[in-house]
Amino acid sequence: MDTTRNTALEAWMNEHGYSSNSLAEAVNMALERLTGRTGGLDGSSVRGWKAGRVTWPKSATRKALEVVTGLPATDLGFVPRGRSLSIPAPLQEGPDTMKRRTLVGGIAAAAAAAAAPGTASTRRIGMSDVDRLQKRFAEIIASDHRHGGQRGIEQQAARLADEALNLQNAGSAAQRVRGNLYAAAAAFRSSAMWAAIDGRRYDDAKAHMREAHALAEMSGDHAIKFRIWSHTGTMYRHMGRPADALAANEVARNLHITRRDPLFASLGLARQAAIYGAAQDRTSTCRAFDRAQDAMLRADPDAYRPVWMLAFYDQAELDSLALSAYLSLGDYETAEFHAHRSLAALRPHMARSWAITTTRLAHAQLAQGDADAATTTAMKVPAYAATQHARVSRMLQEFGAALRATAPGSSTVQTWTEHAAAWRTAA
């Protein structure tokens, strides 16, 4: 049978750097995203397209290919059955028209097509749109550090993730811009995930986690991948699943960014140490914290880092994680040491962290038998955090129970009971 070579598809592949195998893989991934079933294409399938042996692929395959390329199948040299092969391919359009119509190579476009199908717009999406989203992300980060764990923060972050995704179909954009839009959506979704973790809404957190992981993979941004996997490890630690926590945190620690930037390595090690503490592995806890401290000291303070990293990870956070670990291990004196170091170094905007660290300090003091000092410390927690932040509220309830067991009927217990009641009234 005579065949006419598909030069339009070949030209697109050459322009965008695709081999037959890599295009087959991208289309398979798009098929899975669109249909829920993994595609069965390989390099020979694509070579068949280029050779003209297949002039009109199956409908699902065509849709996936259009998602990957951002072009209709006819623009790629394919001809519907029953039409003449001599129909001129629109690939003859001028370069400006082609630039407007080309969206992005790779599976990244799949989620945009699924999230907001519709007619393409002539609007050009650029880095100014990304910059606007990044400013909103900075606001989410700031709100989280002030309040933490609130459902309103979770919902706002989720809405902004959807807004970033909707921009994918709002017009044409360069591949770099689309990658940044996916990274922004992943960042917002990871903040929604963190707010749910912090509020102990773990089912919600897991739903955000799944979406965040998919978006991060499409963005190719290793920093946001690190954040999401690291959050996943923290989530499982709070859920009392240290084996799962270690597995997730190991994924974060094995990302290339931890080899490029010692500060990311330090955070991964510090959170790993907290997980070891929860697992009652003292030796591994101490070793991981030593390595985390060493990595932090090696980190370049002037290196570029994402806003979420700059906003929270420093010596105070490392000591806060050490406080959590040593509390879990029952080493209350060491826990208290790290609590004081963390509180001394905390930056003013870290209101949520201050409340958590102060509450943990009270636990460490009480466990050492100093009920009066512990109660004085616990009473410093602001009423808002004590009643509205799920983690702080629970830790303070546990503190009250431990205080009553330690000093039943004492004036200290009475003082604490009255203060807790005043918190509830103020809230």
> Residue 385 falls within a domain, yes or no?
no
- Considering the domain architecture, whether residues 117 and 209 belong to the same structural domain is answered as yes
- Considering the domain architecture, whether residues 90 and 28 belong to the same structural domain is answered as yes
DSSP 3-state percent helix, strand, coil across the chain (nearest 5): 75, 0, 25
> Residue 424 falls within a domain, yes or no?
no
User: With 60 as the cut, is the pLDDT of residue 114 above it?
Assistant: no
User: With 50 as the cut, is the pLDDT of residue 86 above it?
Assistant: no
pLDDT score recorded for residue 243? 94
* Cα-based distances in Å from 119 to 4, 61, 111, 406: 31, 20, 15, 68
Number of domains in the chain: 2
> Residue 128 falls within a domain, yes or no?
yes
Domain boundary among 183, 201, 218: 218
- Considering the domain architecture, whether residues 93 and 25 belong to the same structural domain is answered as yes
Find the helix packing angle between 411-426 and 390-406, rounded to 10°.
Answer: 160
Mean pLDDT of the chain: 85
Segments forming the whole domain that contains residue 167: 108-218
> Residue 151 falls within a domain, yes or no?
yes
- Considering the domain architecture, whether residues 72 and 113 belong to the same structural domain is answered as no
- Predicted confidence (pLDDT) per residue in 269-317, tens digit: 999 999 999 999 999 999 999 999 999 999 999 999 999 999 899 999 9
> Residue 213 falls within a domain, yes or no?
yes
- Predicted confidence (pLDDT) per residue in 213-252, tens digit: 999 988 889 999 999 999 999 999 999 999 999 999 999 9
pLDDT score recorded for residue 397? 94
Q: How far apart are CA 252 and CA 121, in angstroms?
A: 37
pLDDT score recorded for residue 174? 85
- Considering the domain architecture, whether residues 53 and 116 belong to the same structural domain is answered as no
- Considering the domain architecture, whether residues 136 and 150 belong to the same structural domain is answered as yes
pLDDT score recorded for residue 98? 37
- Name which of 191, 190, 189, 147 is nearest 390 in CA terms: 147
Match 């996943």 to its residue by tokens.
Answer: 232
- Predicted confidence (pLDDT) per residue in 156-168, tens digit: 999 999 999 988 8
pLDDT score recorded for residue 33? 65
- Name which of 108, 107, 99 is nearest 171 in CA terms: 99
- Predicted confidence (pLDDT) per residue in 318-351, tens digit: 999 999 999 999 999 999 999 999 999 999 888 8
Burial of 340 (0-12, 13-18, 19+ CB in 10 A): middle
> Residue 361 falls within a domain, yes or no?
no
Helices (H) and strands (E) in the chain, counts: 23, 0
Domain boundary among 167, 196, 218: 218
Q: How far apart are CA 17 and CA 82, in angstroms?
A: 32
- Considering the domain architecture, whether residues 86 and 125 belong to the same structural domain is answered as no
User: With 50 as the cut, is the pLDDT of residue 116 above it?
Assistant: no
Q: How far apart are CA 393 and CA 84, in angstroms?
A: 72
In this predicted structure, which of 59-63, 87-91, 182-186 has the lowest mean pLDDT? 87-91
- Considering the domain architecture, whether residues 95 and 113 belong to the same structural domain is answered as no
pLDDT score recorded for residue 83? 55
> Residue 189 falls within a domain, yes or no?
yes
Q: Is the Cα torsion angle 369, 372, 374, 375 positive or negative in sign? A: positive
What's the mean pLDDT in 70-85?
77
User: With 50 as the cut, is the pLDDT of residue 354 above it?
Assistant: yes
pTM: 0.69
Tell me if 254 sits within 8 A of 230, measured CB to CB.
no
> Residue 124 falls within a domain, yes or no?
yes
Q: How confident is the model at residue 423 (pLDDT cuts 50, 70, 90)?
A: confident
Q: What percentage of residues in the chain have a pLDDT greater than 70?
A: 87
CA atoms within 13 A on the CB side of 213: 12
pLDDT score recorded for residue 60? 85
pLDDT score recorded for residue 101? 34
- Considering the domain architecture, whether residues 145 and 210 belong to the same structural domain is answered as yes
- Considering the domain architecture, whether residues 34 and 69 belong to the same structural domain is answered as yes
Q: How confident is the model at residue 112 (pLDDT cuts 50, 70, 90)?
A: very low
Contacts with 49 (C-beta within 8 Å, 6 or more apart), sequence order: 6, 9, 57, 78
- Considering the domain architecture, whether residues 59 and 137 belong to the same structural domain is answered as no
In this predicted structure, which of 24-38, 177-191, 229-243 has the lowest mean pLDDT? 24-38
pLDDT score recorded for residue 85? 43
What's the mean pLDDT in 40-63?
89
pLDDT score recorded for residue 220? 86
- Predicted confidence (pLDDT) per residue in 120-156, tens digit: 456 788 888 888 998 999 888 888 887 777 888 899 9
How many other C-beta atoms can be found within 10 angstroms of the C-beta atom of residue 50?
A: 18
Domain boundary among 163, 185, 218: 218
- Considering the domain architecture, whether residues 17 and 115 belong to the same structural domain is answered as no
